[in-house]
Structure 1
């Protein structure tokens, strides 16, 4: 705006609080005749930033001092699946969401929230009560249901019909753990055809609802990116309709799904979990070019299974392979996975006796995290120790592999080792083996040649087995006590203990070290009480 008068008017409007309240953001940018686009964009973005109030600054400083405000817990190694929020931070988030008109929480009392201005709503009043309300004036984009533990009764699936018919602008619908009643004739619970009315839906959460049939009208959900449906390992698998091929925007398909179902058009799919296969799993791997994570369970017929299609997934990073067959000769060979250059994390569950591949080149070449749960017939270490990038190894064995031997120079990058057996076993490590080890957990196994083993481990590492054998440590389900004046050592095995209560008898100087370690360690430890 040119001219002094126009600029003055604009400044008055810009500083008018009643006018500002009508906008989510605002900025003041001056532009001259000679301008640079890059500088103009930077000034515009900088002007959007609002100054932090004194109250907010003091609150954030207080947050830094709280040990509880750290993300945790981890599962499957460094894959964060859950974080816990402090109650003060939750209150701050709720207050800010109200100020910004971002999210409303409806507990059944304040009906003013159920207006056409509400866009995102979390309902705590119960599903039965909410569906009985008038939704004709609501223009919701997000609807979340919580607190179902107070509702013990099952609901008719037909109760979803008014929501689907009236809330057609929904983009997010979360019905997790909502208990529906099955059909009187068949006992099956089928998702209503009216779900096809929600053409803007991007997220549909049905975990724990026990819905076992998906309507063919899912073909109308062209914008759907995430479908989450009862992803329990032992749940009865759901057969997806052929119309799932029309959900071309799908990124995450989470549940327990019976193979086969069409994936030819799901080119944007990134996560697929679980797929239950009764025969072969064959598909064109060049179609699923974006698939990063795959969970597969082979069960049923005893016939030779191949992993050729899975091995062709060039961008696959995580694979969980579960095989439940009576005949171990039907177990799939891992050779096709040797072509998966990006596969860095793999979990193998084999029911019955299983023989590890004899050559290291049959494994993915860049594997970093490996978990094996099987009845191993032979010592797997001679092969696994040659994996050049293996960082974490979890081994649970039930069979004849009662002695594990690591040679000199074996496992050059291994940092964490978990060994669990069903009977007493022996772990032997030669000088120079596992030189990078930082954490060790063993059950039903013991170390042999302890003194020689410790010389190859950095002094900043404390092994659980060594501590127990030398009576330096007493551990039970709820507490861990360090006995004696030992050196200030970092306890890597604490990574695997869910809750610790540390008691120091003669080594109080360790307290600060422990707290510092929990804060800066590469693996966060939850629920630590010092």
Structure 2
């Protein structure tokens, strides 16, 4: 490289803070430069590094950070972040996700500086699992108009300012699990959204979903209410979902997740919010293309099968506490391939009729504590390959119809009584029902 070209490159590099030149006379300043460089880059690299080495007691960076936090306090880390927000203006990706308790102790409990609004070129921002000193996000987030992914799934109940409508380039939006009651977000301008998680009608406008014509994945967190709902004719209500491409829908209730250790699950579930079955039926009738459905803790009865999309291939139902057997409805879905039922039934009997579940390949029955008898007709579940039964302590025996399912390749039994296991082992009363199954697994039984 010519000397003049070299000088020009060094000059530009210095202006952009890309290089430091240390000659021998000034070598003593090297340690200061290194310290300054570490402090400038700390917020970008430290989280991932610490988390990857959290179990390493000799991890030098972790102990350096402990020393820094104890000697200078979180205020110093806060100032480092402010410096970054004001000087790294070409930054595209910022991931502050907290995955470990150690990292949370170092970086949790601080106020997100409003200077973050200076990072106008950001495409990705994650604040997942962060704990904030003040339970509100700065309105300067609205300046980040180039954002394509925004993850705000924090543990605290926070206030989110109504500035998301300005982020028209957003593709993936993960809202907080719990928002302050005064939070009300307008999302109708986010027509490019592909993913929307933790949508609540209490904090968002239901009518905005009709404008999200490219939505692929929708996660609804209760409460979910439809205003001016026509109870007599569901079809007369205006459509809810505007996207023809929605393939995944989850509905859950997160408010009670952290109190399991204090009360019994049955007491908690009685206080949980529920979705009106008619609202659920109307919502599902709008989701004509979904292939994955997950419902947790929000219903006690299923809508009739014709409200479900014929494309459904995966259904997961947890803690729904059905008073009636859900199988007569679910077995009519023509393309269902995977079904998971966990703590969902209050009934003592479950029945699968002939020709039911024509394409079902995997069935998981877990924690159906009151289930005593399961009947399967010959011809039911003709494509079943994997069956898992976990912690169904009152189930007396496997159904007789299981012997006719010749496609079954694996049967896994976990946390079942010893008497149940003995019936299925060679020489047992029910061994004839499973002897054609290549793999029978007993795990923690008896």
Task: Answer whether contact 1:143 1:174 (CA < 8 A) is retained.
Answer: no
Give the aligned partner of residue 129 of structure 2.
208
Output aligned runs, 1:112-511, within 5 Å.
116=18, 133-134=36-37, 145-146=47-48, 147=50, 150=62, 151=65, 153=69, 155-156=74-75, 157-177=78-98, 178-179=103-104, 189-211=110-132, 212-231=135-154, 235-256=155-176, 258=179, 260-278=184-202, 282-299=206-223, 310-323=240-253, 330=276, 332-351=279-298, 354-357=300-303, 359-373=304-318, 374-397=320-343, 399-420=345-366, 421-442=368-389, 443-444=391-392, 446=395, 450-458=399-407, 460-462=409-411, 464=413, 469-471=423-425, 490-491=438-439
Task: Answer whether contact 1:239 1:261 (CA < 8 A) is retained.
Answer: no
CA offsets per residue over residues 32-77 of structure 1, 9 Å max, x none? xxxxxxxxxxxxxxxxxxxxxxxxxxxxxxxxxxxxxxxxxxxxxx
Unaligned runs of 5+ in 1: 1-17, 19-113, 119-128, 474-482, 501-530
Q: CA deviation at 1:209?
A: 1.9
- Label 1:243 to 1:278 Cα distance change in 2 as closer, same or farther (>3 A): closer
Question: What is the alpha-carbon distance in structure 2 between the residues aligned to residue 333 and residue 385 of structure 1?
Answer: 19
Question: What is the alpha-carbon distance in structure 2 between the residues aligned to residue 116 and residue 349 of structure 1?
Answer: 51
Q: SS of the counterpart of 2:163?
A: helix
- Label 1:455 to 1:260 Cα distance change in 2 as closer, same or farther (>3 A): same
What's the TM-score, normalizing by structure 2? 0.66
Question: What is the alpha-carbon distance in structure 2 between the residues aligned to residue 361 and residue 455 of structure 1?
Answer: 29
Question: Number of matched residues?
Answer: 353
Unaligned runs of 5+ in 2: 2-15, 21-31, 55-61, 231-236, 256-270
Q: CA deviation at 1:396?
A: 2.0
Question: What is the alpha-carbon distance in structure 1 between the residues aligned to residue 328 and residue 275 of structure 2?
Answer: 22
Q: CA deviation at 1:169?
A: 1.6
- Label 1:370 to 1:399 Cα distance change in 2 as closer, same or farther (>3 A): closer
Q: CA deviation at 1:329?
A: 7.8
Output aligned runs, 1:98-109, within 5 Å.
none
Question: What is the alpha-carbon distance in structure 2 between the residues aligned to residue 327 and residue 363 of structure 1?
Answer: 22
CA offsets per residue over residues 155-209 of structure 1, 9 Å max, x none? 2344410111122221112222254899xxxx98542111111111111122222
What's the TM-score, normalizing by structure 1? 0.57
Question: What is the alpha-carbon distance in structure 1 between the residues aligned to residue 241 and residue 441 of structure 2?
Answer: 34
Task: Answer whether contact 1:281 1:309 (CA < 8 A) is retained.
Answer: no
Q: CA deviation at 1:394?
A: 0.7
Question: What is the alpha-carbon distance in structure 1 between the residues aligned to residue 141 and residue 34 of structure 2?
Answer: 22
Task: Answer whether contact 2:223 2:273 (CA < 8 A) is retained.
Answer: no
Q: SS of the counterpart of 2:321?
A: strand
CA offsets per residue over residues 465-487 of structure 1, 9 Å max, x none? 897632259xxxxxxxxx9xx97
- Label 1:345 to 1:304 Cα distance change in 2 as closer, same or farther (>3 A): farther
Give the aligned partner of residue 73 of structure 1.
none
Q: SS of the counterpart of 1:376?
A: coil
Greater relative contact order (Cα < 8 A, sep 6+): 2
Q: CA deviation at 1:262?
A: 1.5
- Label 1:344 to 1:237 Cα distance change in 2 as closer, same or farther (>3 A): farther
Over the aligned positions, Cα root-mean-square deviation in angstroms equals 4.3
CA offsets per residue over residues 126-169 of structure 1, 9 Å max, x none? xxx9996248998x997563206535657234441011112222
Q: CA deviation at 1:334?
A: 2.1
Q: SS of the counterpart of 2:117?
A: helix
Task: Name the structure where strand makes up a greater proportion of residues.
Answer: 1
Q: CA deviation at 1:237?
A: 4.0
CA offsets per residue over residues 79-135 of structure 1, 9 Å max, x none? xxxxxxxxxxxxxxxxxxxxxxxxxxxxxxxxxxx97179xxxxxxxxxx9996248
Q: SS of the counterpart of 2:222?
A: strand
Question: What is the alpha-carbon distance in structure 1 between the residues aligned to residue 129 and residue 203 of structure 2?
Answer: 27
Q: SS of the counterpart of 1:145?
A: helix
CA offsets per residue over residues 290-342 of structure 1, 9 Å max, x none? 21112121149999999966444422111110147657584543233123222
Task: Name the structure where helix makes up a greater proportion of residues.
Answer: 2
Of 273-282 and 296-305, deviating more is 296-305
Task: Answer whether contact 2:193 2:215 (CA < 8 A) is retained.
Answer: yes
Question: What is the alpha-carbon distance in structure 1 between the residues aligned to residue 226 and residue 439 of structure 2?
Answer: 45
Give the aligned partner of residue 7 of structure 1.
none
